[in-house]
Chain A
């Protein structure tokens, strides 16, 4: 009994920390609003410039509210809504209650000529205010001049912990936590039969080892196995988190081209580093090709070499993004029809929910399948790189 209690605590602690952070963040938002009210109360005792600034702030806030009110009345733009949901963001939106957005502000990190600038994205007030020379414009950070116009020439690196980065952190934290727990129980149990979460992870590990790595790489598979397992579980856990519609899911990590691109670049780099003589010979001196064809064949082979990571990038990105778009599209349908007639909206919601449920099941499959496909293709590329070429079979 005591043992199982201890186990529960192990899982409860991270959950509790996350909840604490949400609470802290929402409190901060509430405080910010109170602070502004407080400022406006005490303006009489401060000098005029402050009054002016505060007035401006209030004015902006009012404009903001008006804009929000206006926005809520304007026709639903499903395309924009979907794009906003699958794109990256500087805060983690949790819910909108009335006119108040409940969201977790995430840290903004900007590296420019003046050095690092780190502050919470709540400073931007959802794009209504500039802070330290930067402003949120259409979901992007842009540099602004002192008069408030956008400075297109400014060069800076935006290294912010965006929603996707934060979601990825949570996912990898959980992944490491799970895998270390599993590794611990392997160390403890030795060669005994798997128990608990081991039983879930072990078939996947054996599947990757026996069905993916061994057949496609051959005898040298052990060298690549840690990487293959890492990308498989990394993609799988991020895909699964992407399917959770609210915090800590809801981000579109593996549906972001930057993430898939880095994964593909890792695969490409490992392939190129481990490529043996046969592999490079196949690209730059394709065996069995007549001499006059070489000027044509070599560029094709080189394009083929770079084509592989590009295909990997786009396949994962497109599959996951498409799934998100379809689910969001079904939900948008409800509101599009509800705008025509409330009853129609309710009627459509039945079908939308049914279809979304179906799609979610499909997405569960896709989440696994895309992780598997990415791993399989990576291991096939590794297999090509380390394959022993026999010159005799080409002539």
Chain B
């Protein structure tokens, strides 16, 4: 029973001591300690947050870079494609114009050949005509001693010329 009877003296001193300790520690120990702890935690949190922000910024930059690179790549591809298209079209055009030119040249050549041929034919014809006239004159001179023969001959020649 002795143990569970609180002594008045101890109750008295305990109340006083504990009140004083509570006051002193609250004012001079817990307040600054808790304040510093909170400040430290805040600063750690801030540091972590800013690190996170920096990380986000970095990744944003990286993705931006990626996008730029992608765009550049697309641009390059487009340019290459355009260039190759242009090349193709130029070649095709060149081919077309060369063909045309060739055809034109050929046509010109054919025309001049035709003309030359016609000229040559005409010349040949005149020469042949002169020759044949000459020959005919010679033959006629020899044969046309009599009138009947002359007439028969002229008629024959006329016939053959008109047949030609």
Give the B-binding residues of A (Cβ under 8 A). Answer: 83, 86-88, 109, 157-162, 164-165, 168-169, 172, 175-176, 179-180, 182-183, 186-187, 189-191, 201-202, 205-206, 209, 222, 225-227, 229-230, 233-234, 256-259, 261-263, 266, 317, 321
Contact = CB atoms under 8 A, between A and B. Distances in A.
Nearest to A227: B22
Contacts of B33: 179, 182-183, 186, 201, 205
B11 A161 contact: no
Nearest to A163: B10
A161 B7 CA distance: 12
Contact of B28 (A87, A88, A180, A257): A180
A263 B11 CA distance: 10
Interface stretch (B36-44, B105-113, B124-132, B150-158): B36-44
B60 to A, nearest CB: 30
Contacts of B22: 226-227, 230, 266
A180 to B, nearest CB: 6
B36 A176 contact: no
B6 A261 contact: yes
Most chain B CB within a 10 A radius of its CB, from A162, A206, A229? A229
A233 B26 CA distance: 12
B37 A202 contact: yes
Contacts of B161: none
Given A176-B25, A201-B33, 8 more contacts: A162-B9, A168-B17, A191-B36, A209-B34, A227-B26, A229-B30, A233-B25, A258-B10
Contact of B39 (A160, A191, A317): A191
B31 to A, nearest CB: 7
Contacts of A229: 25, 30
Interface in B4-37: 4-15, 17-18, 21-22, 24-26, 28-37
> DSSP class of B's interface residues: helix, strand, loop or mixed?
helix
Interface centre among A191, A234, A256 (most CB of B within 10 A): A191
A198 to B, nearest CB: 9
A190 B18 CA distance: 29
B18 A266 contact: yes
B2 to A, nearest CB: 6
B39 A161 contact: no
Contacts of B9: 109, 157-160, 162, 165
A390 to B, nearest CB: 30
Contacts of A86: 3
B164 to A, nearest CB: 130
Contacts of B31: 226
B89 to A, nearest CB: 72
Contact of B11 (A186, A205, A261): A261
B37 A206 contact: yes
A90 B122 CA distance: 165
A112 to B, nearest CB: 13
A191 B34 CA distance: 11
Contacts of A227: 22, 26
Contacts of A179: 25, 28-30, 33
A15 B142 CA distance: 178
Contacts of A189: 36
A227 B21 CA distance: 10
A321 B29 contact: no
A165 B11 CA distance: 10
B17 A257 contact: no
A191 B40 contact: yes
A136 to B, nearest CB: 14
Contacts of B35: 186
A256 B34 contact: no
B32 A187 contact: yes
16 contacts: A157-B12, A158-B8, A165-B10, A168-B14, A176-B25, A182-B33, A183-B32, A222-B34, A229-B30, A230-B18, A230-B21, A234-B21, A258-B7, A259-B10, A261-B11, A263-B18
A183 B25 CA distance: 10
B34 A205 contact: yes
Nearest to A175: B21
Contact of A164 (B10, B15, B36): B10
A287 to B, nearest CB: 34
Contacts of B37: 186, 202, 205-206, 209
Given A87-B3, A183-B33, A186-B33, A165 B18 contact: no
B49 to A, nearest CB: 16
Contacts of B14: 165, 168, 258-259, 262
Contacts of A230: 18, 21-22, 25-26, 30
